[in-house]
A and B are shown apart, each in its own frame.
Chain A
């Protein structure tokens, strides 16, 4: 398999177009299964009652907000190092969805914090660093929007994304490094998860659904960006006639 072949905008444009329905339907199917597990299979929690069901969206959205940022940072590093056109477009296509998930993680966290902690918001290390992530997403999109020259915008955005990436490990380890009101992670790579298997399965199904959704919307966005940048080429002119 020749990766350079797929990195060519023309090839990727058509490939992504064929894959989008699969990712979108996969996301819908898994979200349906995940919601069914969230409400009809997973039992009531003995400590938190029904309020804990927020976990089925809170944790997947929080994971996604961090993963998407790291994926953007990865593509920006590739773009800066190898000057590949498609890489920056990937970062641009992912940012709005990352921002949405970041907002949802904060929103569902507030709605979970109120009944459990008695406060919608506290300036705890986990919550504060997650809020900074939202500001980073919004700042990056504002920077892109403010720079008219697409190539300069790509580079400026990439630099901000790479510098801001330092915040992701801070979010992840904040519950370890500092005394936070936010609980420690129930799932990590080194020890067995401290939760019922069905809850874990529900969360993982929702997380995979969120991934498939992200890929689907990012592909739609990246196809638009490719057409816009390549509109003078013969293949893009032909693709526009068909669109």
Chain B
């Protein structure tokens, strides 16, 4: 194990802001993309299904 304690882990030898700022924003960015993608796909399918029903009439 590299870390002596939980505090040492979070402080990252004084570079906590930079390290967690990097990993944190990466996780946020990926989560945001996945969320937007799911939302976008759902609304696309709904739109296409509506058009399909409309054209069937």
Contact = CB atoms under 8 A, between A and B. Distances in A.
Do the two chains bind?
yes
B8 to A, nearest CB: 9
B14 interface: yes
A50 B25 contact: no
Contacts of A243: 45, 49
A101 to B, nearest CB: 9
B26 A240 contact: no
Nearest to A54: B22
B52 A224 contact: no
Given A107-B22, A112-B18, A213 B2 contact: no
A53 B12 contact: yes
Interface string A209-243: 00001000100110110011001000001001101
A231 B48 contact: yes
Query: Chain B interface: which size bin?
Result: 20 to 34
Interface string A190-223: 0000000000000000000000010001001101
Contacts of B52: 231, 237, 240-241
A51 interface: yes
Contacts of B49: 240-241, 243
A58 to B, nearest CB: 7
Interface string B1-42: 111000001001111011101110110011001100100110
Nearest to B28: A104
Interface of A: 35, 39-44, 49-51, 53-54, 57-58, 61, 96-97, 100, 103-104, 107-108, 111-112, 114-115, 213, 217, 220-221, 223-224, 227-228, 231, 237, 240-241, 243
